[in-house]
Amino acid sequence: MSVVAGILLWSLLVGVCRSENALILVPDSTGFVQVGQSGGSESSGGLRSESSKPPWSTDVAENDWKYIVLHHSGTAAGSVEAIHREHRSRRDASGNNWLGIGYHFVIGNGNGMTDGSVVGTFRWKDQIHGAHSGHAVFNARGIGICLIGNFEERAPTAKQMAAVRKLVGMLAGRFSISGDRVVGHSSIRATSCPGKLFPLKELREIASKEAMVLTQPAF
Ligand SMILES: [Zn+2]
């Protein structure tokens, strides 16, 4: 497919999802808000929330994403702000503070964030590396998505599942990420994340379907 056709198709898809949001999401659970920080330098790190744009839209050139890495927070409650604060206090191997929240997207569960809300963090907005996988390649080329909850103990909420299906489908189609490159954190390193009750297989199937749709030749 030509680049132009790809862009056109992407625009169409974003348009479709925007109108879907407008139709099916009530104001209280729009979820699809975007937060980020102006700038994006190492030392910045404030969050700002605003905008009715879909969380996957960016104003900068897109990174060459190859993977989607799924996580749970491992906590019953959580929010972008709380994770951001906690990650800001961490230091990397060189002793430098982390930039802030290590994920590109967070999906709330109703405890600390609206159930099913999807928030793109500054890392997505600025299309920069994540700090979520413990592996250089997956941090550099992997889109880190964290769902609030402990999926060792209970499954994601229905709204979280609806949101993550949609998000993974959009990202897989956009960046041609097939199911075999949609991984749980535990595939990368020894951790229980994203939990035994997280339906990874279903998301991998969605990704393969979406990635195939957009990579089929035009003729
Ligand atoms: Zn994880």
Q: Which pLDDT score, from 0 to 100, does residue 27 have?
A: 27
Give pLDDT, residue 94: 87
70 CA to centre of ligand 1 in angstroms: 7
pLDDT confidence of residue 35: 37
* H or E stretch covering 88: helix 80-88
**Centroid of ligand 1 to alpha carbon of 214 (angstroms):** 28
pLDDT for position 17: 31
Look up tokens 């407008």; give the residue: 22
**Residue 133 Cα to ligand 1 middle (Å):** 6
Give me ligand 1 centre to Cα 108, in Å: 15
Distance, CA 189 to ligand 1 centroid (Å)? 9
Q: Give, for all 219 residues of the chain, the pLDDT tens digit.
A: 444 444 444 444 433 333 322 222 222 233 333 333 333 333 333 344 445 677 778 889 999 999 999 999 999 999 999 999 999 988 888 888 888 999 999 999 999 999 999 999 999 999 999 999 999 999 999 999 999 999 999 999 999 999 999 999 999 999 999 999 999 999 999 999 999 999 999 999 999 999 987 656 655
96 C-alpha vs ligand 1 centroid, how far in Å? 21
Compute, in angstroms, the gap from residue 153 CA to the centroid of ligand 1.
15
Q: What is the pLDDT of residue 218?
A: 59
Distance of alpha carbon 115 from the chain centroid: 15
Domains, the chain, in order of start with CATH, read 3-215 (3.40.80.10)
* Distance between Cα 30 and ligand 1 center (Å): 25
Predicted TM-score (pTM) of the model is 0.75
- Confidence (pLDDT) at 40: 33
Q: What is the 186 CA–ligand 1 centroid distance (Å)? A: 7
* Cα 208 to middle of ligand 1, angstroms: 22
CA of 147 to the centre of ligand 1 (A): 10
182 alpha carbon – ligand 1 mean position (Å): 13
* Ligand 1 centroid from CA 177, angstroms: 19
CA-based nearest residue to 86, from 72, 71, 97: 97
Question: How far apart are the CA of 71 and the centre of ligand 1, in A?
Answer: 4
How high is the pLDDT of residue 93?
81
**What are the distances in angstroms from CA 45 to CA 95, 99, 151, 162, 174?**
17, 6, 29, 29, 27
CA of 48 to the centre of ligand 1 (A): 24
Q: How far is the CA of 132 from the centre of ligand 1 (A)?
A: 6
Backbone torsion region of residue 94, taken as left when φ is above 0, otherwise alpha when ψ lies between -120 and 50, otherwise beta: alpha
How many secondary structure helices (H) and strands (E) does the chain include? 6, 7
What is residue 194's predicted lDDT score, i.e. its pLDDT? Answer: 98
Provide the pLDDT for residue 73: 97
